[in-house]
């Protein structure tokens, strides 16, 4: 069973409740999951990190059992800027004014925005299978449209939620207890059957198309870069490198001190290769 010795908590912040697990000892480390996962995806990795760090694994806003951001025409409340601020508030309410940060997939977008906007809070940043939204959109070609079509489908009003909630198991047919474990699977399975959570997850994508890329562009136009040391990791059996080329080269446009490498895994690396992922995180954070 994952999350050995971890405590399941609900912490209230200004925007609403955040569900998370906390365990381990040492410097604080925040882990942010991707779509359509909940914090449970981190279980195997969290157990490996707990001897060295106080590990916090929340359901990010709009996902799992955390609060659903209210709607807005520009999806502002689901923006990575708002979610980053909410999660910094979460960590401070738990007594951590600064912390290490890891984000995967959609969580990597929040982690990037947090490192940009809350420089006093983020000591070091690890991004897994992620690039700034603006880079995705400006580099998009027919292969991106073919393989990542859901970005643009989810950007449409109303229809994505209707399609997904008509048969959540068919839409998320790649979910498997064999890969993630029965407890994590049950948690995600429950989440995708809640229409309000489906809406929250889809709004995360709408925010990318509507407003997140504008925040990225404002940083780029102003010449702002991430100031803390950054590690970029990607799954070698996923397609981010095949579509975009060397992720480290791209991230050097956004961070002052960045290094990185690929890990032998499919996209859900925390579940598929937790040992190598945890090793990479520990080696980087201990430098």
Q: Indicate which residues carry an active-site annotation.
A: 105, 267
- Among 4, 2, 21, 96, smallest CA distance to 64 is for 21
Question: What is the rounded radius of gyration, in angstroms, for the C-alpha atoms of the chain?
Answer: 17
223: left (phi over 0), alpha (psi -120 to 50) or beta: left
DSSP state of 39: G
Question: What own/partner pairs with CB < 8 Å and gap ≥ 24 does 273-281 have?
Answer: 274/44, 274/45, 274/48, 275/48, 277/45, 277/128, 277/233, 278/45, 278/48, 278/49, 280/126, 280/231, 280/233, 281/45, 281/49, 281/102, 281/126, 281/231
Kindly give the pairing relationship between strand 28-32 and strand 54-58: parallel
- Which neighbouring-strand residues pair with 16? 13
Chain centroid offset of residue 222 CA: 25
Kindly give the pairing relationship between strand 16-24 and strand 54-58: antiparallel
Query: Reading across the β-sheet that carries 28-32, which strands appear in turn?
Result: 7-13, 16-24, 54-58, 28-32, 99-104, 122-128, 230-235, 258-263
Alpha-carbon span 121 to 225, nearest angstrom: 15
């Amino acid at each position: 069973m994952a999350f050995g010795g971890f405590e399941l908590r609900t912490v209230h912040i200004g925007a609403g409740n955040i569900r998370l697990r906390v365990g381990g000892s040492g410097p604080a480390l925040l882990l942010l999951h991707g779509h359509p996962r909940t914090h449970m995806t981190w279980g195997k990795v969290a157990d490996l990190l707990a001897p060295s760090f106080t590990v916090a694994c929340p359901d990010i806003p709009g996902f799992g059992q955390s609060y659903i951001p209210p709607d807005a025409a520009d999806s502002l409340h689901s923006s990575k800027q708002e979610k980053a601020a909410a999660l910094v508030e979460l960590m401070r309410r738990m007594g951590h004014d600064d912390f290490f940060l890891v984000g995967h997939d959609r969580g990597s977008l929040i982690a990037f925005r947090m490192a940009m906007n809350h420089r006093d809070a983020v000591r070091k940043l690890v991004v897994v299978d992620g690039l700034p939204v603006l880079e995705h959109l400006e580099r998009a070609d027919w292969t991106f449209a073919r393989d990542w079509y859901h970005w643009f489908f989810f950007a449409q009003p109303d229809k994505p939620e209707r399609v997904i909630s008509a048969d959540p198991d068919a839409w998320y047919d790649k979910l498997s207890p064999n890969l993630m474990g029965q407890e994590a699977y049950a948690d995600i399975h429950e989440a995708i059957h809640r229409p309000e959570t489906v809406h929250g997850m889809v709004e995360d994508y709408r925010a990318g198309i509507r407003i997140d890329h504008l925040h990225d562009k404002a940083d780029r136009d102003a010449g702002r870069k991430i100031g803390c040391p950054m590690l970029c990791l990607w799954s070698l059996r996923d397609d981010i490198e095949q579509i975009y080329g060397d992720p480290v080269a791209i991230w050097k446009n956004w961070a002052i001190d960045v290094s990185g490498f690929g890990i032998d895994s499919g996209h859900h690396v925390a579940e598929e290769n937790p040992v190598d992922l945890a090793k990479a995180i520990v080696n980087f954070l201990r430098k």
